[in-house]
Amino acid sequence: MDLAIIKIRNKSGINMHQLFVEVLTKRDLSRAGDLFSIEDKSIITDLSALINEIQRISSSRDFNKVNNDQSVIEICLARITSAIRDSGTIEEHAPALVSLLESCLQHDLKPNKKDEDPPHAKIASDVVSCIFLNHTKKSLMRIAVPVAIKLLHRGNKELSRNLSSYLSLAAINNAEVLSPHIQPIIDSIIGGNYSLVRVLPKIYTVNKEPIHDHVMALVSLLPQCDTPEKLSLLHLFALISKNKPSILESNLPQFSECLAQSQTAYQTLQIFLDMAQVDPRPFVEYVSRVITACELQSGMLSIAAQFLGIIGKLDVEQACDCVRFLTSQLSRSDLSTTITLLREIKSIVEVFPSLIPSFLNQILVQTENSSSATVQIYLQQLNTLNQQVTSSNAITVVRVNCDNNLGKTTSGTGVPGSSSLTNNNNSGLADSLISTSSSAQHQPRSKGIYSLSNNASTYHHRSIPRSANLHGISSISHSGPSHSSTSSTNGFYRSMTTLGLPSYSSRHQVNRRSIESIMAGTTASGSQKSASSSYLLALQEKEAAASKSKTVATSVDSQLQQGNAAFSSTSSHYNIEASRSEGISSSLNSKLRATSSGEHLKQSRTSLLEPYPMRDAVQHFCEKHIDKIKAYMQKISVKIPLPVKCTIEEKKAKKLAKLHFVCQGKGTNCLYSKTFFTMKTRNARIWIHLMFLALQAKAPTALCTNEASVNALKNCWDTLKADNKTFLTLVTSSFPSTKDQDLLMAELRSSRYFDVFEFNALANIWGCFLCNHPDRAIEFLQNSEPVIEGQLKEKKGKWKLFRRWRTHYFTLSGLNLSYRESKDTKETQPIEIGEILSVKAIPSSKGRTIPKAFEIFTNEDKTYVLKAKNNLNTEQWVQCLSIAMAHSQAKDTNG
């Protein structure tokens, strides 16, 4: 008879499979492995009885002392849970599993002095895993959660952390099951189990008050949490801000710190927005932080506009600051964001209409390229409001504390001391009036020429191309001379005007080419310079002051490696070396000057109307978007390092891009003074696109395909032949999105780039660890003092199934890594740093998480699997080893 289906009764009278009986009654470890050869159908009806038998054996007094019994139970339980999982009978055997889990709670689950888990903790971990893999079954969760929650406070951090992950999954569909246990959950979070915060937003939807009582404590955890936990907490606070925002007001300083972090800024601003809708007054002091965060992260602009739209209605000073910033962002935003910006600007100036004359001109300039009907409606509404303000019988201008000051005007003509309507810093009406007496005769008055009260000269208005054509400019006139407001400055008579918006079709008719051509450089630069003094603009000014121009020098090197039939490499190298030189043309940034020479203006127009020479599409794209490219790359360069060389390798008909990074610090002890940090990438499309944008951002003029540097990138892309896209399509596509940037960041982290490099904000460079921290160089250069030391667990054993963690004391001193049995042991075993190929953390192993482990690979085909006491200690070891490896390689290179 087949042994696989024979069943006998054990001493307790329970009918079980013969092999299980032999293994369990005799504790026969040699035959335990044969349990996996039994078919599930042969034991499916016995599983609850087997679980009860395991519970009886594990509850015996000697169980903790007998290693053989522990191994037998571990293998038997693994076979049982496997059968339950494969047969889908978890609900049938749930009572037995929960009973076994509850029996584990009667024993000590704390790790021993060697940081090893006791056997009952291992049993509990296996049972929890088996149960919570079926977290979608509500009936199962109702009986399992009350028992499992008790494991959070049994002193085993790793067991608590694993359970927290399962509870986070269970909370998705079973928030009401977890709700009665909110107190032990919050106690565990406050005690340091931060990963458990992920269940709070789900529980809050069904049980709010207990969480309200602990808001202060939960907010204080924000600085201590990692980014995923911070996001979960902010999600919770966002729910609270909609339900009971008053209890969060005292925590605004802590929330404002999250605005400085790209991952948490958007969620924090959402909280601010919800709370400001109830009471905006506490947020006045945080406006500058919101603006700074928004400038560094363009994706926040829409929600920031809504927030500023609320704050701007508090008083005229806040209104001026908010409108100034919102106006400055119009030219940098997409259509939907532009509409949001205009809506919020309109809502503010409706409360403080005296502001509209100061900003209308700039608004029109920055939206001149928009053909959206919605945008035109908002512009028309703003223009109507402006007409109402400026056409009143006595114009009263309120001076506010902002850059766009309104000039003081009074009723009457020629009042001494009166000044221009707009400030000279803006591309407003007063600065754009140009005397054109010689050319005025060729223009009919209906085309935009108007006369002043004294008829001394005529003027042609050219400051608003396409946004308001010449039909829309009219003099402010009223019945009687006393209502004509004029002012005298340097011999010129200037008249206040109102700007009427024509229909879209008429905006593209009269003198379009001449107006656009003359104003192309002036309007753009003027509107950009009128933005608020932000961190981003400060960077631009600093770069402009340091270098009047930048010349991009590139070298292209293509080579074919031969000699190995199995490996052929086609390489296209791309290098950037920016050298500084003097002498940029001052006309790039100069404003359009007022002149009385009609002949000069006529000649300028004639030259500008000449046909453009033939240019390639890349150059045309760069010329049109050069400002956006530079602004975008300023944000990217502080977040993502840019490689200096890209190599395309082909191996077995498979092509892969390899990136080469340098240390820009070049200090005395630089880790990469003569070598590159190399990294293979699966996102060559994004990297090559960024490399092109970096080239353009550093170049003083628009690049074309014939440029050597651009051609080198094109060769790389053509060699790679990825995505079936041409190089032209790649470089003229939308800039890499936040999601694309996250992919690159993930690659850099996976390659351990950030272990060795970090961004130096003061020097504005990406430098290696020793260049950024020269004071730490002694630790890595001398062998006398340890760089890092401590106990690590090493996983050893001949058979993978029976490998155990063994504790050793490891020491890294200079370029020497060694370990010994304990700190007091003198005999050490060395691991040569020069022999190490790579070091990496282990996120998971065949689906089972090992959160504190990392691996060391050597060129002797040896692998060391090590586990630190916590995740932070793991990162410290990996970073120190990575730096030591880089230093060893640099030392070998330098000879």
DSSP assigned state of 247: G
Q: How far apart are CA 185 and CA 393, in angstroms?
A: 68
Query: At CA 666, angle to CA 663 and CA 667, rounded to 5?
Result: 125
* Residue pair 688/713 in contact by the 8 Å Cβ criterion: yes
Question: Residue 589 corresponds to which tokens in the numbers above?
Answer: 């940034």
Instruction: Give whole-number Cα distances, 323 to 283, 286, 318, 627, 685, in Å.
Output: 16, 16, 8, 22, 39
49: left (phi over 0), alpha (psi -120 to 50) or beta: alpha
Over its C-alpha atoms, the chain yields an Rg (Å, rounded) of: 36
Question: Residue 804 corresponds to which tokens in the numbers above?
Answer: 């155990």
Instruction: Give whole-number Cα distances, 398 to 318, 320, 355, 358, in Å.
Output: 14, 12, 8, 11
Q: How far apart are CA 668 and CA 780, in angstroms?
A: 13
Question: Residue 97 corresponds to which tokens in the numbers above?
Answer: 């599993």
Q: Counting beta carbons within 10 angstroms of the beta carbon of residue 483, is it exposed (0 to 12), middle (13 to 18) or buried (19 or more)?
A: middle
Q: How far apart are CA 241 and CA 532, in angstroms?
A: 30
pTM above 0.95, yes or no: no
Instruction: Give whole-number Cα distances, 650 to 561, 654, 689, in Å.
Output: 10, 5, 21
How many residues belong to the chain?
Answer: 895
Residues of the chain under the 50 pLDDT cut: 1-14, 393-615, 798-799, 801, 844-848
Q: How far apart are CA 824 and CA 277, in angstroms?
A: 64
- Reference 782, options 830, 814, 818, 816; nearest CA is 814
Q: What phi and psi, each to the nearest 5 degrees, are found at residue 129? A: -60, -45
- How many secondary structure helices (H) and strands (E) does the chain include? 36, 25
* Residue pair 867/843 in contact by the 8 Å Cβ criterion: no
Fold annotation for 773-894: PH-domain like (2.30.29)
* Residue pair 395/357 in contact by the 8 Å Cβ criterion: no
Q: How far apart are CA 398 and CA 512, in angstroms?
A: 36
Handedness of CA 120, 122, 128, 131 (dihedral sign): negative
Domain-by-domain residue ranges, the chain? Answer: 317-546, 547-583+612-737, 773-894
Q: How far apart are CA 473 and CA 450, in angstroms?
A: 8
Helix (H) or strand (E) holding 739: helix 738-750
Residue 478: count other Cβ atoms within 10 Å of its Cβ. 13
Residue in this structure with the two tokens 């409360």, named with its chain if needed? 351
Handedness of CA 171, 173, 176, 178 (dihedral sign): negative
- Reference 351, options 385, 397, 392; nearest CA is 385
* Residue pair 473/499 in contact by the 8 Å Cβ criterion: yes
pLDDT of residue 650: 81
* Residue pair 470/461 in contact by the 8 Å Cβ criterion: yes
Q: How far apart are CA 565 and CA 571, in angstroms?
A: 17
Helix, coil or strand: residue 858:
strand
652: left (phi over 0), alpha (psi -120 to 50) or beta: left
